[in-house]
């Protein structure tokens, strides 16, 4: 399936997690993840958010408008001849996904086209939970994922002279945007990264505290925690130097770790 290949290239960790879902849900999960990747990217550039990869906000808005019309067409059983759209249409029919839910995902992505840093950690957490409406565990995982995504993208953002880390945390440690732009390794810069990463870790801890109350069949959907924890451990090992080259490398053992957690019925 073409969306599967696209998904693997653009969202490798999400792709690995989707492989461990039940067979009846797997293709729909690929479609939904590919839909999210389409919204988060422009020009098919890997690992970039819409607001980071478009040269003008207008181009990003055009992409958003395309997907709004596409969702309208999907619910009229007339999807455009575009691989992700066709697979999304199949997922909608197979699982009775609501139009309101898909439109909300698009609307929230549109709000994030503005090229502004997050004012505080709360704004950053809210960005991570836009399309998660399950239970408390899912919401905490969504917040952790939003924070980790922001951390991982910081070197790229810096290369384009942009910083999206929460301003209140930076002010607390006396760190300016320029410190990140020049890739400073000063302790106060690493303290900012430590505080932000610690918040992600706290959300993972909260998510796992619901382990006994979450239905076992829902665990595969929460396996993203394994990839998130992997990044948080790596950044701790380099003493929260967010620009360390090792943080940009894939963990060859991640597929095995995911399989083991799936086999153990844990997330």
Q: Do residues 87 and 165 both lie within one domain?
A: no
List CB contacts of 117: < 8 A, sequence separation 6 or more: 162, 163, 164, 165, 166, 167, 177
Could you tell me which of 234, 46, 226 has the C-alpha nearest to residue 144? Answer: 226
- Of 114, 132, 157, the residue at which a domain comes to its end is 114
Q: Do residues 14 and 1 both lie within one domain?
A: yes
Q: Do residues 14 and 104 both lie within one domain?
A: yes
The rounded distance, in Å, linking the Cα atoms of 65 and 106 is: 9
Domain around 242? 117-266
Q: Do residues 176 and 67 both lie within one domain?
A: no
Question: Dihedral sign, CA of 18, 19, 22, 25?
Answer: positive
The rounded distance, in Å, linking the Cα atoms of 167 and 176 is: 9
- Range with top average pLDDT, 17-26, 137-146, 190-199, 204-213: 190-199
Q: What's residue 133's pLDDT?
A: 38
Mean pLDDT of the chain: 80
- Of 114, 136, 168, the residue at which a domain comes to its end is 114
Q: Do residues 90 and 128 both lie within one domain?
A: no
pLDDT at 170 over 70: yes
Residue 146's φ and ψ, nearest 5 degrees, are -65, -40
Q: Residue 174 sits in a domain of what CATH number?
A: 1.10.600.10
Q: Do residues 107 and 121 both lie within one domain?
A: no
Q: Do residues 253 and 135 both lie within one domain?
A: yes
Q: What's residue 47's pLDDT?
A: 39
> How many domains would you assign to the chain?
2
pTM above 0.75, yes or no: no
Whether the CB-CB separation of 169 and 227 falls below 8 Å is answered with no
Start-to-end C-alpha separation, the chain: 27
Q: Do residues 82 and 126 both lie within one domain?
A: no
Instruction: Based on DSSP, count helices (H) and strands (E) in the chain, helices before strands.
Output: 14, 0
Could you tell me which of 10, 14, 55 has the C-alpha nearest to residue 160? Answer: 55
Instruction: Quickly count: other Cβ atoms within 10 Å of residue 226's Cβ.
Output: 24
Q: Do residues 170 and 89 both lie within one domain?
A: no
- Of 81, 114, 147, the residue at which a domain comes to its end is 114
Q: What is the pLDDT of residues 19-52, one digit of tens each?
A: 767 777 778 778 887 887 787 764 333 334 444 4
Q: Do residues 190 and 210 both lie within one domain?
A: yes
Q: Do residues 262 and 140 both lie within one domain?
A: yes
Q: Do residues 58 and 121 both lie within one domain?
A: no
């Amino acid at each position: 399936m073409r969306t599967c290949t696209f998904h693997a290239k653009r969202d490798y960790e999400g792709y690995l997690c989707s492989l461990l879902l039940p067979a009846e849900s797997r293709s729909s999960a690929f479609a939904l993840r590919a839909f999210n990747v389409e919204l988060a990217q422009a020009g098919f550039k890997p690992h970039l958010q819409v607001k980071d990869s478009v040269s003008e906000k207008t181009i990003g808005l055009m992409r958003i408008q395309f997907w709004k019309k596409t969702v309208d067409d999907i619910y009229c059983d007339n999807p455009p001849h575009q691989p992700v759209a066709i697979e999304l249409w199949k997922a909608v029919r197979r699982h009775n996904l609501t139009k309101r839910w898909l439109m909300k995902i698009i609307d929230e992505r549109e709000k994030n086209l503005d090229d502004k840093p997050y004012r505080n950690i709360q704004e950053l957490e809210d960005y991570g939970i836009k399309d998660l409406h399950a239970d408390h565990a899912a919401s905490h995982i969504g917040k952790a994922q939003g924070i980790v995504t922001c951390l991982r993208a910081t070197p790229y953002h810096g290369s384009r002279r942009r910083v999206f880390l929460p301003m209140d945390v930076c002010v607390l440690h006396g760190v300016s945007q320029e410190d990140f732009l020049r890739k400073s390794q000063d302790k106060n810069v690493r303290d900012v990264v430590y505080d932000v990463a610690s918040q992600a870790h706290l959300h993972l801890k909260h998510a796992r505290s619901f382990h006994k109350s979450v239905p076992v069949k829902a665990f595969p959907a929460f396996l993203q925690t394994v990839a998130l924890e992997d990044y948080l451990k790596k950044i701790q090992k380099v003493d929260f130097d967010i620009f360390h080259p090792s943080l940009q490398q894939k963990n060859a053992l991640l597929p095995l770790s995911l399989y083991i957690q799936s086999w153990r019925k844990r997330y």
